[in-house]
Chain A
């Protein structure tokens, strides 16, 4: 099968979308000639020109706000924030403007924009360049939220997101860009559906983004111990595919939710509550969570690694869930 890096898949998705929709305009810091802080938009300036691939000064609030305004008036902007950590600077335009405009204005208008960014640990980039802030987005009604775990999903999700009428927050993981994955868009589920990345009968791991990879690695190790783990990759957090999650949960009766996002009031809290509420009669054990520590991300590599779930800590949580330790 064909292989592709996560980065190239994103670029291909953007490129094909722009070829068919001339209202798509990319804007952000270093997105043009430099090609994006992580190289995702490399070459797009050359293909589409400066009107469609626009560098901005360092002004996150304005560039996101301009994307919202342009989306309200006929364009489909794709704004890029170099690091999701900088979403803090653009929060008003995102939360009070983009997310609310349709509802507040009685359904008159929609905001077909995308905000792309990346998060996560792995580069010792420290407290202001390593966070996973998806809970803030998920907590805001009105925003779609996609978090692909591999190249195929990076491609199909970005392409579909660029046809939606609502604002989409598209969060990539800095640890995935350079990795190659099997590339098979035909095999991907539709937008809004989770996928079973590995099937098993003993317990379910619910995860997304880079934690899918770590969960799969833990599941492979657990298979050697005779524990058959099912891994569910959510792909999008809004829409949230509770149907697929529920099916897996009812099959296995035991659930571990894994997120890189920190524990308290995080995505894992929402997921475990929903799973419990919707599967009250079907759970063999309480739902467990394995999430990032409730700390700013430290720079020292060993501390950084210990601040988020690892293959080993996921494995240990599953053993606990299976009452094997």
Chain B
């Protein structure tokens, strides 16, 4: 493992930011102030952060409806995200997109997406554009186990190999698409097994283990940067909350999540490893927790006190406005 102290602190901070952000949005959603559909990423942090730690602003990612974690991992500003989730004018997308559509193109974040399976084709395009820029840029599509069954995803895998694109497809298999089990909906044992049919490497990784994700991500991203083509990586992980906020979760046992949290929570595994190996101290981690808690608190206060869009905003930005 080649992470220095600053990188380890950064990885922990990002994962903690995502967790604290999602826990807080969960609580705030219950108050009824957040409009629309909200899908939380808590539990899956090691995947987003394990990949995005290798990326810079020139690299692109495309996300899913469960996009907050990918946004934070890719460096989207937390205040703007929180405002967007509250539908405020100073949100990342001016209060027009909401939780399911947070995007920040300057950070290379091509959007959360309300259409399951819409990201992989976009990432083929971004991979193609990266090839033209010749700067070694890569493009990563995150899809769920459910999204892995869309024709768009499977066609993207084929095209990425045919065009030898610098793309990585990350299948975040959290066991469910809404209430549908991935064991049922995915026709083979592992989503990554499909890679062979598309002529690319396929890797299964424990998505709770940041270090394992970081390593396989690094190999695939390095190969893509060097012109070695695409990879399909399946992260096996768990989502802690319901499919959407308000989901009664009648399709899974009450202690299913509890067991995962106790045995392989990604933040817990990370903390244990870095402290046991003397890479970081508990005090360093605690200090981050405190800073992040304050940061999230401030983002909520900021969002709640921010102005809502007005009727003057209704018709703007459908098109570029020409003189």
Among candidates A60, A62, A126, residue contacting B36 with C-beta atoms closer than 8 Å: A126
Q: Are A293 and B315 in contact (CB under 8 A)?
A: yes
A33 to B250, CA, bound (A): 10
Q: Say whether A134 faces chain B, with CB atoms less than 8 Å apart.
A: no
Q: Say whether A225 faces chain B, with CB atoms less than 8 Å apart.
A: no
Chain A, interface size: which category?
A: 20 to 34
Nearest neighbor of A30 in chain B, beta-carbon distance: B178
Residues in B neighbouring A303, C-beta threshold 8 A: 95-96, 309, 311, 313-314
Among candidates B100, B113, B185, residue contacting A57 with C-beta atoms closer than 8 Å: B185
Q: Are B151 and A61 in contact (CB under 8 A)?
A: yes
Nearest neighbor of A59 in chain B, beta-carbon distance: B149
Complex interface bits, B11-35 against A, C-beta within 8 A gives 1, otherwise 0:
0000000000000000000000001
Q: Which residues 26-73 of B have a CB within 8 angstroms of A?
A: 35-37
A167 to B264, CA, bound (A): 50
A126 to B98, CA, bound (A): 7
Main secondary structure of the interface of B (DSSP, over half): loop
Query: A57-B185, A58-B147, A125-B37 are known contacts; what are 9 more A-B pairs with Cβ within 8 Å?
Result: A30-B178, A59-B149, A124-B37, A129-B114, A295-B314, A295-B318, A299-B36, A299-B97, A300-B95
Q: Say whether B275 faces chain A, with CB atoms less than 8 Å apart.
A: no
Q: Say whether A294 faces chain B, with CB atoms less than 8 Å apart.
A: yes
Q: Say whether B146 faces chain A, with CB atoms less than 8 Å apart.
A: yes
A152 to chain B, nearest CB (A): 30
Q: Are B318 and A58 in contact (CB under 8 A)?
A: no
Q: Are A129 and B37 in contact (CB under 8 A)?
A: yes
Q: Are A295 and B315 in contact (CB under 8 A)?
A: yes
A30 to B117, CA, bound (A): 17
A299 to B101, CA, bound (A): 9
Residues in A neighbouring B99, C-beta threshold 8 A: 299
Among candidates B35, B117, B315, residue contacting A301 with C-beta atoms closer than 8 Å: B35
Q: Say whether A128 faces chain B, with CB atoms less than 8 Å apart.
A: yes
Q: Say whether A296 faces chain B, with CB atoms less than 8 Å apart.
A: yes
Q: A128 and B150 in contact (CB under 8 A), knowing A58-B117, A296-B318?
A: no
Q: A57 and B146 in contact (CB under 8 A), knowing A33-B251, A128-B100, A299-B101?
A: yes
Closest 3 CB pairs of A and B: A299-B98, A128-B114, A124-B35
Q: Are A57 and B315 in contact (CB under 8 A)?
A: no
Residues in A neighbouring B37, C-beta threshold 8 A: 123-126, 129
Nearest neighbor of A58 in chain B, beta-carbon distance: B146
A114 to chain B, nearest CB (A): 22
Q: Are B315 and A59 in contact (CB under 8 A)?
A: no
Q: Say whether B202 faces chain A, with CB atoms less than 8 Å apart.
A: no
Q: Say whether A298 faces chain B, with CB atoms less than 8 Å apart.
A: yes
A64 to B100, CA, bound (A): 25
Residues in A neighbouring B194, C-beta threshold 8 A: none
A86 to B114, CA, bound (A): 10
A140 to B149, CA, bound (A): 28
Q: Say whether A8 faces chain B, with CB atoms less than 8 Å apart.
A: no
Residues in A neighbouring B87, C-beta threshold 8 A: 124, 299-301
